[in-house]
Amino acid sequence: MIERFNDGRDWFFEKRFGLFVHWGLYAIPAWHEQLQWRGRVPREEYVKLAAQWNPTHYNPDAWLDLAAQVGMKYVCFTTKHHEGFCLWDTQQTDYNTMHTPYGRDVLAMLAEACHRRHVPLCLYYSCVDWHHPNYPNQGRHHELAGPLPGDEPDHAKYLEFLKAQVRELCTHYGEIHGFWWDMNVEEHVDPSINAMIRQLQPKAVINNRGYDEGDFGTPERDYDKGVDDTLTFERLTEACQSVGTQSWGYRQDEDYYADRHLIRSLDKYLARGANYLLNIGPMADGTLPDAASTVLQRIGQWYNGVQESLEDVVPVSHLTSNRDVLLTRRHNTLYVHLYRDPIAESVSLKPLNLVPQRATLLNNGQAVEWAVDLVPSDHIEHQPYLRLCKLPVNELANTVLVVKLEFDDLPAAMMKTETTLNQNDLLTR
Ligand code: GLC
């Protein structure tokens, strides 16, 4: 069980699903947020994009409207990605949105909308920098082959620049609820940087990709196979995923994930106690691409139906030995998540043998049949177990089914959150 902070950072336990937004100059060529590196675009060519930055249709309220519709409760925004271009009025470099045809502080506009709507705002910031002359680019992963002409590699100086920027971000935009570091290629350790954030922004949760371990882990896409073997996360975790398979920034010709893949991914993390950031890349004009917005809306239809099973709950998958389902609990209510391909229309919750007062499929509000009886395959133990029956696994095959089981009273042993419970403690008859 993950302990709460007992301070302003605890908002992170209440708001579980967030919108990740990757926006920068890369939205203009619309291929990938790492175009400069992956596409091998010379820096002197890439910087010319700043002269085209003019997102005249940028309206942060439209982004937040979509997030609200989907059920997302917070936002994480790229203030500076690896390209080095800054989306706020920074005094530390001219490579920012003020020095473009648009000439406005993009972050200030987003922060104003978030504060007005009480949506927690977290800031993404890239440690690696493909523009700053002091960043020691030397051809490691996610680095330019450098130094480039005009560069003066000096990591200590670069960190001074970075700290000055972090100070701006933590002092000019009101309350900041999180800091999301990325790509500390140097693997440099300096806890004083997060200490500064904590002092300036006590509500900020900090991820583990910066200059110390921070507050939470950040499994990305489906790279972390180990998650399938865990019942619940030992450390505070926020998974991240993009709606497109290739890019986090806007990609014109994007290959989007299947809804079912995203829904399962969301459920497998949220039901194990992790938070989840789902990403979209706005286009160069500031609007959100239709295809990506539609994906989010469809995910939202599922999420809004089942969200009571994922918010303000504890992960309790240890209560069953059935590894094809995940369980969450709030008070006397259990939620059964069929997050893997159901192989049959029934699901056994062995060794549970309790009688629910009510069983409801959250996806469509319909009652679910159940039984506590002996099935032939359990003849050796000769025990009756709780079984959900006749689930619409063929009709609703493209989603994750979640069944709500309401009990009069759950045995005390089930209220514990330890994952080492003796399974016999769970048998009540
Ligand atoms: C990966 C990508 C990076 C993106 C990040 C978000 O590290 O390389 O571009 O910003 O994921 O988690």
pLDDT for res 429: 36
Is 1 inside a domain boundary?
A: no
CB 211 within 8 A of CB 194: yes
pLDDT tens for each residue of 37-66: 999 999 999 999 999 999 999 999 999 999
Q: How many domains does the chain have?
A: 2
CB 110 within 8 A of CB 74: no
Pocket test residue of 248, 251, 269, 278 for ligand 1, highest count of atoms within 8 A of CB: 248
**Percent of the chain residues topping a pLDDT of 90:** 93
Is 243 inside a domain boundary?
A: yes
Q: Which residue is closest in CA terms to ligand 1's atom 10? A: 248
Helix axes of 106-117 and 60-70: crossing angle, nearest 10 degrees:
40
Final residue in a domain of this structure, among 260, 290, 309: 309
**Residue 306, Cβ neighbours under 10 Å: how many?**
26
User: Is pTM, for the whole model, over 0.85?
Assistant: yes
pLDDT tens for each residue of 188-197: 999 999 999 9
Q: Which residues line ligand 1 (CB under 6 A)?
A: 33-34, 182, 220, 240, 248
CA of 371 to the centre of ligand 1 (A): 47
Residues 132 and 163 both lie in one domain: yes
Encoded tokens for 221: 């896409």
**Which numbered atom of ligand 1 lies nearest the CA of 142?**
8
Domain hosting 182: range is: 8-309
Q: Which residue is closest in CA terms to ligand 1's atom 3? A: 248
> Which residues in 198-301 belong to E strands, given as ranges?
205-206, 238-242, 275-280
Residue 428 pLDDT more than 60?
A: no
Residues 277 and 194 both lie in one domain: yes
Give the residue from 290, 222, 218, 231 showing the smallest Cα distance to 18.
218
Q: Which residue is closest in CA terms to ligand 1's atom 11? A: 220
Q: What is the CATH number of the domain that holds 409?
A: 2.60.40.1180
Give the residue from 367, 366, 361 showing the smallest Cα distance to 336.
361
pLDDT tens for each residue of 71-122: 999 999 999 999 999 999 999 999 999 999 999 999 999 999 999 999 999 9
Encoded tokens for 54: 């003019």
In Å, what is the CA distance from 159 to each residue of 49, 163, 392? Answer: 26, 6, 56
Give the residue from 37, 51, 48, 210 showing the smallest Cα distance to 130.
37
Q: Determine whether 203 is exposed, middle or buried from the number of CB atoms within 10 Å of its CB (0-12, 13-18, 19+).
A: middle
In Å, what is the CA distance from 276 to each residue of 62, 91, 252? Answer: 21, 33, 25
